[in-house]
Amino acid sequence: MSNPRKQPRITIKKDVLGIKVDMADYRFLIALILVLGLVIVLVRGDAESGKVLVPLVLLAVEWYYKDKVKR
């Protein structure tokens, strides 16, 4: 029984101000912005906004690291 070969992943890279950026970098930036926003909200003591941001931050961080593990 032959082992099917894994198809190569297609990554889209864009040149932004001379820097090569791929999709993982965008996911990292989204996760970083959400984490920083959550930290700012928690430092300010706004618990209601924190309750909204925590699930979003968890999803964004999971989305970034889950794809990173697949590579």
pTM across the whole model: 0.59
- pLDDT tens readout for residues 9-25: 555 555 556 656 565 56
Residue 66 pLDDT:
80
Residue 27 pLDDT:
79
Cα angle at 57 between 56 and 62, to 5 degrees?
A: 100
In angstroms, the CA 69 to CA 44 distance is: 34
Residues facing residue 15 across a β-bridge: 20
- pLDDT tens readout for residues 38-66: 999 999 998 898 899 999 999 988 887 88
Residue with the bigger pLDDT between 45 and 8: it is 45
Is residue 6 very low, low, confident or very high in pLDDT (cuts 50, 70, 90)?
low
